[in-house]
Amino acid sequence: MQSFRTELENPLVEKDIIDLARKIELFREGKIHEEKFRSLRLARGVYGQRQQGVQMVRIKLPYGKMTFKQWKRIADISDEYSTGNLHLTTRQDIQVHFVSLDRTPELWSKLEQDDITLREACGNTVRNVTASPSAGIDPNEPFDIAPYADATFRYFLRNPICQEMGRKFKIAFSNTDEDTALTYMHDMGFIPKIQDGKRGFKVVLGGGLGAQPMMAKIAHEFLAENEIIPYLEATLRVFDRHGERNSRHKARIKFLIQKIGFEALVQLINDEQKALKSKSFTIDTETGKWAVATEEMPSKTSEVSLEQTPAYELWKATNTFEQKQEGFYGVYVRILNGNIHSTTSRSLIEQLEGYIADDVRVTINQGLMLKYVPEANLPYVYSVLEAHGLAAAGANSMANITACPGTDTCNLAISDSTNITSKLESVITEDFPELIHNNEIKIKISGCMNSCGQHGMANIGFHGSSLKAADKRVLPALQVLLGGGTVGDGVGRVADKVIKVPSKRGPEVLRVVLNNYEENANEGEYFNDYYDRQGEKYFYTLLKPVADLTTLKDDDFIDWGASEQFQTEIGVGECASVIIDLVATLLLESEEKFDWTKAAYEENRFADAIYHAYSVFVSAAKALLLDKSVSASTQSGVIDKFQENFVETGDIALGGKTFQELVLQINKNEPSEEFAKSYIAEAQAFLGLAKAYREELVNA
């Protein structure tokens, strides 16, 4: 691989991209361990996919916002490096697939020319900060939450406290008590409140879906606006130190709560206050990249007029709403499976530019939202969308089903989740057309139990699985879940797993459930209320005939969108497999972290320098523990076990201090220049001791 060069205005970004190119080259040469390289590339938005030798690249769009210029840049990038498809995700990102690993630095460099990043879109980092797409224009919001989401994204991007955590951390901002950003299923969520005339947020903590869904708990009923970033910072520092690192399935903050208790976690967060970089953080709510500038507002008025056809009226009723800004409308656009082609994207940009604001949002149900559409331009916008096959009504209704990519590209998927989505949507539009107005029931599907399609909080959910017939043949299956959803104001419900059925019978499940609901629900009774009244066993009995495996046909053994008989398998990951000295790798990594420590100190970023120095202690200690085959699943465990296995044995002398006393000064001191200087000196001395110990062993 030839040396990669880039010319960007931001030297920090340029260094990051060049570093990725260099690490790819070292990985190809077998000089970086596969696990370490995986962590590094994931933190830069590069994710292995089901097909061998290619990558999925995730483009990070804070709260889903993109300008026309950025949208076009992404479309062009997809053509040049991918397949031309843009996949909109439930976390308001855009993914492109089938990208060569070696071309990812070049791809990233071209995206950054329009201020688009891949950094920390994947990996054990703070993931994309999501928010209600209607933020800033919703008539019911107390205030615009976009500035707070934007500030959160920028504060934690490349922040040393959250670069190598045990697991990912997801943050969401809802703009009303309706909780359209689903804060209750996030590691931390914020809902805007006004108290005594002052802005603040209700804060919920510890939510998550996956195979073991847990709903977030209330951390603060009201936290002042200038305190939300310090609270996040303290939480991330605690999660970094105490979070699980060996078992990925137990590594989210919800499991830390399960392990030590919510009150204990809150106390640890409070104990971090003294060491925070920012005790208070004022957020600019007047100007910023989140704002729509005057020159970005619509400048053209269309003379297109449409007859008031039923299709147009239905679209207007279900896909548009009046903004709080008089005379303007927000417009939701349904995108099947979240997939929109680059050609379609460029055509939409060309025809919509000037007629709507230069501010398009990716929504959490894998669609788009257009902002500041003058009422006079609604017929024109509809006609443009209709010409592209994107004027389907019910953008927020049960007819718009959320689905992850499933077996199309994902390594973990068990059965199809995309082809079946169109079949399920057809059931609604053809058999239950009146439900196109129903925004209360949400249907979601994932290719496996990990809930990327958010099936765990759906009113009606499905996730990919498998079943075994009497003749031992395996067939694709769907786990059916019912009764989940959003209650509001940070409260949600986890769906119950009711029954597993052959995948080809998914549409029949939907027909049976909806027919039963229509026939037996009380007047005005919500679906979840009906589900609660009847109970899980009732629905199990109702669906048991659909799950009957004695009536299988040959077609049941072929998954949706497939032509061959189903078999359970996962895709192949990166093929490079090398044997290297992991202890030496960790010590080299410690030296690199010390270089970051020195750089931050020289730039007067004392809090960052202190945290990098802390990472030097932990990384070097972990290296020596590995040499003794001692494992620790948390950073605090590394600290305790190093004391036990090296200091107390006399192998490493720390001048009368315990290792805990040495390292854990980090949360007992203000991040001053004086403390940074002494702490860094101690980290450097410890790194020297660790290297000397290792060298003596190697040469013995």
CATH number for the domain harbouring residue 223 = 3.30.413.10
pLDDT exceeds 60 at position 579:
no
- The rounded mean pLDDT for the chain is 92
pLDDT, tens digit, for every residue of 597-635?
999 999 999 999 999 999 999 999 999 998 888 989 999
Contact indicator for 173, 130 with CB cutoff of 8 Å = yes
Q: List the CATH number of the domain containing 309.
A: 3.90.480.10
Identify whether 601 is part of a domain. yes
pLDDT exceeds 70 at position 381:
yes
Identify whether 685 is part of a domain. yes
- 17 shares a domain with 99: yes
User: What is the amino acid identity at position 576?
Assistant: A
Neighbouring-strand partners of residue 482: 460, 496
Where would I find the H helices in 65-131? 68-81, 104-112
pLDDT exceeds 60 at position 159:
yes
Q: Please tell me whether the overall predicted TM-score, pTM, comes out greater than 0.95 for this model.
A: no
- 423 shares a domain with 309: no
* Number of domains, the chain: 5
- 186 shares a domain with 264: yes
Containing structural domain, residue 189? 130-275
- 229 shares a domain with 340: no
- 232 shares a domain with 206: yes
Query: Which residues, other chains included, contact 240 with Cβ-Cβ below 8 Å and sequence gap of 6+?
Result: 161, 162, 164, 165, 166, 635
Angle, to 10 degrees, between the axis of helix 342-352 and the axis of helix 378-387? Answer: 160
Among 242, 275, 308, give the residue marking a domain's end.
275
- 139 shares a domain with 68: no
Quickly state the pLDDT bin for 1 (edges 50, 70, 90).
very low
- Burial 149-168, CB ≥16 within 10 A → b, else e: bbbbbebbbbbbbbbbbbbb
Cα dihedral 534, 540, 543, 544 in deg (nearest 10):
-140
The tokens describing 418, both together, are 């995309």
Identify whether 368 is part of a domain. yes
- 552 shares a domain with 406: yes
Quickly state the pLDDT bin for 577 (edges 50, 70, 90).
very low
DSSP state of 161: G
The tokens describing 160, both together, are 């040393």
Closest by CA to 641, choosing from 655, 658, 653, 656, is: 658
- 140 shares a domain with 208: yes
pLDDT exceeds 60 at position 580:
no
Identify whether 171 is part of a domain. yes
- 212 shares a domain with 154: yes
Identify whether 122 is part of a domain. no
pLDDT, tens digit, for every residue of 275-318?
999 999 999 999 888 889 889 999 999 988 888 899 999 999 99
Quickly state the pLDDT bin for 566 (edges 50, 70, 90).
confident
- 137 shares a domain with 75: no
Percent of residues, the chain, with pLDDT higher than 70: 97
- 248 shares a domain with 151: yes
- 262 shares a domain with 155: yes
Contact indicator for 238, 269 with CB cutoff of 8 Å = yes
Identify whether 565 is part of a domain. no
Residue with tokens 């855009």: 94
